[in-house]
Amino acid sequence: MTPSTHEHAHGFGLDHLPYGVFSVDGGPRRIGVRRGDEVLDLATATGRPELAATSLNPLMERGPSTWRQLREQVLDLAPDLPGIPLSNVVMHLPFEVADYVDFYASEHHATNLGRMFRPDSEPLLPNWKHLPVGYHGRAGTVVPSGTPVVRPSGLRPVSTGSTTEGPQPPSFGPTRRLDIEAELGFVVGAPSAIGTRVPAAGLADHVFGVVGLNDWSARDVQAYEYVPLGPFLGKSFATSISCWVTPLAALDAAWCDLPGQDPEPAAYLEPGRTRGLDIDVEVELNGEVVSRPTYSSTYWSPGQMLAHMTVNGASVRTGDLFASGTISGPEHGQEGSFIELWKGERFLEDGDEVVLRYSAPSTSGGRLSLGEVTGRIEAAR
């Protein structure tokens, strides 16, 4: 365990320029981009009507040609614009979240968790390598980085929390197994029409950008409730995202080949189109880095997740958020959740603070930092 050497301004150069929503002194919310440790007020600087808004949704709805034009304009303006110090602004949720879907795309995470939740059977269920498993989460409780997380209460199994059945009834109370899930979130800008599919290759036509995401999880509540319909109250109390949305264009140098898929998935999942993002994650607990997951080791690609979400004709809307699922690498020290890292022996205490940091290769040859995702645990109410 080593202290993080992250410096806040590092990774927010002119090759990045992520979008966010800020306010100053209780004033109205405004759209800005981050340059180092400053915010640039974009509505004022560009005069664009889609930026005279309190969320990124009107901009995101316009689609990729507008996003490209705006980025060129911002790249021209950003070096010379006066900035507002980050210490003088309050950051807000950057977009109105429409639907929230959470996937389960890391083979290492699914295997680790399968062993713990179902110790007597195969760790991966038979469908896992045929489709990206996912569930619909609760959009209304997606909160911006920095929002405190109140320890949730629910029905917990009486035993260790790893079984769903037993002779004794569950007990109600504050979760004893509060955990994190370090994930990456994909933000849909341009909508699709109901009844049509979005191909995996259509990712950049619809996805505006990427956020860091922490899917806080109450493992005991989750273990008791998840059969047969999946996660519910063990997940829905809070999901934290970064206040900064990194546009896909800033990640042009971060695309990489994922490890590969065997057996070959169905044609609609475009076998071979397994391009992922080379994004490294740092999980920091109370100021110490405890884990370093790698998004480049996931099994299903973001394009495949989007293709899967829409293969039945379900549309995507502006503001939809779909998440990767917990990012866990193959090695010890790369786990994206504490239940994997500490084998179920240690979880979050009241007062603990978690910071997720993300970095990726940038188009200028250096590295950029995605917005961090922080949250401190408050006692159950």
Q: Which is nearer to Ca ion, 30 or 108 (CB)?
A: 108
Q: Least distance to Ca ion from the beta carbon of 233, Å? A: 14
Q: Of 109, 130, 206, 308, which residue is the catalytic one?
A: 109
Q: Least distance to Ca ion from the beta carbon of 190, Å? A: 25
User: By Cβ distance, which residue is nearest to Ca ion?
Assistant: 215
Q: Least distance to Ca ion from the beta carbon of 92, Å? A: 24
Q: Least distance to Ca ion from the beta carbon of 7, Å? A: 29
For 81, counting Cβ atoms within 10 Å of its Cβ (0-12 exposed, 13-18 middle, 19+ buried), the class is middle
Do residues 140 and 98 lie in contact, with contact meaning Cβ atoms separated by under 8 Å? no
Q: Least distance to Ca ion from the beta carbon of 102, Å? A: 5
Provide the binding-site residues for Ca ion, judged by CB under 5 A. 102, 181, 215
Q: Which is nearer to Ca ion, 9 or 125 (CB)?
A: 125
Q: Least distance to Ca ion from the beta carbon of 336, Å? A: 9
Q: Which is nearer to Ca ion, 181 or 280 (CB)?
A: 181
Q: Which is nearer to Ca ion, 181 or 282 (CB)?
A: 181
Active-site residue flag, 109: yes
Q: Which is nearer to Ca ion, 102 or 284 (CB)?
A: 102
Q: How distant is the alpha carbon of residue 38 from its chain centre?
A: 23
Q: Which is nearer to Ca ion, 192 or 337 (CB)?
A: 337
How do 353-361 and 367-378 pair as beta strands?
antiparallel
* Residues carrying an active site annotation: 109
